[in-house]
Amino acid sequence: MHASPPPPPNIVLFVVDDMGWQDTSVPFHTSVTPWNRRYRTPNMERLAREGVLFTNAYAASPVCTPTRVSLMTGMNPARTRVTNWTLRLDRDSSGAHATLLPPRWNLGGLCATAGPDRTWQAPTLPAILRRQGYRTIHVGKAHFGAIGTPGADPRNLGFDVNIAGHAAGGPGSYLGEQNYSGSSRGAENVWDVPGLEKYHGTNTFLTEALTNEAVREVERAVADGKPFFLNMAHYAVHVPFAPDERFYQRYRDEGLDHTEAMYAALVEGMDHSLGRLMDVVDSLGVAGRTAVIFVSDNGGLAAHGRTGEPHTHNAPLRSGKGSAYEGGIRVPMIVRWPGVTPCGLRCTAPVISDDIFPTVLHMAGGADAARYRRGVDGSDLTPLLRSRTQKAARTFLWHYPHAWGVAGPGIEPFSAIRAGDWKLIYFYADRRYELYNLKDDISESRNLAERQSGRAKRLARALRERLQAIGAQTPVEKATGLAAPLPNVTGD
């Protein structure tokens, strides 16, 4: 008799919104920093002890929707042309720029099948997993598609269950007393978090309400004998901040001002949610076959020196959300896959959010993985998860042909490439190149484009070739109405 194959693992993809690389007590840098000492994230610490921590993990974009689409498809934003955050089909979310206009990008977002004009159609991770027998559960922020498109509802992307996910990219409010609505401060109701009416008028913080619902769905899937894929996508730690009273006062007592205390409490509340999910799979006896992937969708929102602005602290990384610099794209990432990942490994190999799609397909059994390789830009991370060998011979692309609408270092239309330790950024407005050695200069303080002109030219050619190969759009020059040129250099 042949033994029955083991059941496929449950998979929790735990996505945090706008969480910076330093917003945790887990040190992702080479040593503990003052910011690591500020935050309390014991469950992230636990996850890191039991799995692999990636010190060079990246989001596919410095803003949210493009990265979230990459998580669902494995495709780079330059390919999908979902290159900025989405909300409406009739209004571009791009900010104003003095000399450039955005291209005609896919502002409708993602669809699993044919959708309206200016949407991207691709096989989605939950749809594939559902066909393989998984119960697919979305809880929290979706932000995959614009209002009125199929992709605005995660159930149209392959999720069996959708709790609180819709077109908007932030919460109206974190407070149950305010019905998770921003109406009290004059915000449009498009931002109101849907589907949580039973918590309205209570003192249940949004992070906790979402966790309650996620725990209930996990318990139901296990009781039904179904493997589950949970996309636990918190609205935290996105603005508008509010005090999570479970944790807020302790940070005030430690001397933090109101904004900083609200933010630190948001981080701790998110971590508490992670702990509850790890505890529930323990209590249900399925922890040994439940993989957990923790990641942020982009870098932390930085203040850029403006008094009173909600912000995080990305140092030694430069700048923050929306930026070409490391503070905009480098993110915390930890993977625990029992029986596969070594415990407590720090992996220095660069990885990117595009990689999660093929990695999860491998986790789920891999039977269909080859069928969905066409157009996928990510790589299966299983070899890195299984082994202590750390290979870094990969090249990564970022493409953001927009003005985000916030001023700050590197926050302007750009494309960038990382090869090994070297990163080249091309800014479209003035056709400027910046070159950094991230191993020696993680803060990107020394532009070596002139000193290392040969290397800069080689990387510029590689960047151009990649952008051309996947049909990337460039901004439009206001003066001419023509597309801004791709990187273009000659000689070695």
pLDDT in tens, 30-69: 999 999 999 999 999 999 999 999 999 999 999 999 999 9
- C-alpha torsion sign, points 397, 400, 406, 408: positive
Domain at 395-477, CATH from 3.10.129.10, 3.30.1120.10, 1.10.486.10, 3.40.50.300: 3.30.1120.10
Q: Residue 184 pairs with which residues in a beta bridge? A: none
CB-based contacts of 179, cutoff 8 Å, min separation 6: 173, 192, 197, 200, 201
Nearest by Cα to 369 from 128, 34, 171:
128
Q: What are the structural domain ranges in the chain?
A: 10-386, 395-477
The C-alpha angle with vertex 400 and arms to 398 and 403, in degrees rounded to 5, equals 150
* 8 Å CB contact between 429 and 416: no
Which letter does DSSP use for residue 383 in this model? H
pLDDT at residue 367, rounded to an integer? 56
Pairing state between β 290-296 and 10-16:
parallel
How would you classify the pairing of strands 476-477 and 422-427? unpaired
Count of CB atoms situated within 10 Å of the CB of 101 = 19
Cβ atoms < 10 Å from Cβ of 374: 8
The whole-number pLDDT of residue 116 equals 87
pTM exceeds 0.85: yes
Give Cβ neighbours of residue 336 (< 8 Å, ≥ 6 apart): 47, 50, 51, 52, 291, 292
| Residues 25, 40: Cα–Cα separation, whole Å | 6
SS3 for 87? coil
3-state secondary structure of 233: strand
DSSP per-residue letters across 105-146? --TTEEESSS-STTEEE---HHHHHHHTT-EEEEEE----B-
For 373, residues 6+ apart whose C-beta sits below 8 A from its C-beta are: 358
Q: Are 120 and 132 spatial neighbours (Cβ–Cβ below 8 Å)?
A: no
Helical packing angle, 42-50 and 258-283, nearest 10°: 50
- Spans of the chain, pLDDT less than 70: 1-5, 303-311, 367-372, 388-392, 490-492
- Where does residue 142 fall: left (phi above 0), alpha (psi -120 to 50 degrees), or beta otherwise? alpha
Amino acid at 194: P
The answer regarding whether domain 10-386 maps to CATH 3.40.720.10 reads yes
Q: In whole angstroms, give the CA distance from residue 418 to residue 261.
A: 35
392 burial via Cβ count (<10 Å: 0-12, 13-18, 19+): middle
Closest alpha carbon to 363 in 2, 13, 48: 13
Which regions of 215-337 does DSSP assign to beta strands (E)? 228-233, 290-296, 333-336
User: What pLDDT was estimated at residue 491?
Assistant: 47
Whole-number Å distance between alpha carbons of 231 and 216: 14
pLDDT of res. 490: 61
Distances (CA, A) of 444 to 301, 312, 439: 18, 18, 10
| Closest residue by Cα to residue 476 from 467, 484, 468 | 484
Distance CA 69, CA 465 (A): 23
CA 13 to chain centre: 11
Going from the C-alpha of 192 to that of each of 93, 145, 182, 189, the distances in angstroms are 18, 16, 6, 5
Contacts of 404 (CB under 8 A, 6+ apart): 62, 63, 84, 94, 95, 321, 322, 411
Rounded-to-integer distance, Cα 61 and Cα 78, Å: 10
The conformational region for residue 86 under phi > 0 = left, psi -120 to 50 = alpha, else beta, is beta
Query: 134-161 pLDDT, tens per residue?
Result: 999 999 999 999 999 999 999 999 999 9
Angle between helices 258-283 and 206-223 (to 10 degrees): 10
pLDDT of residue 2: 54
3-state secondary structure of 419: strand
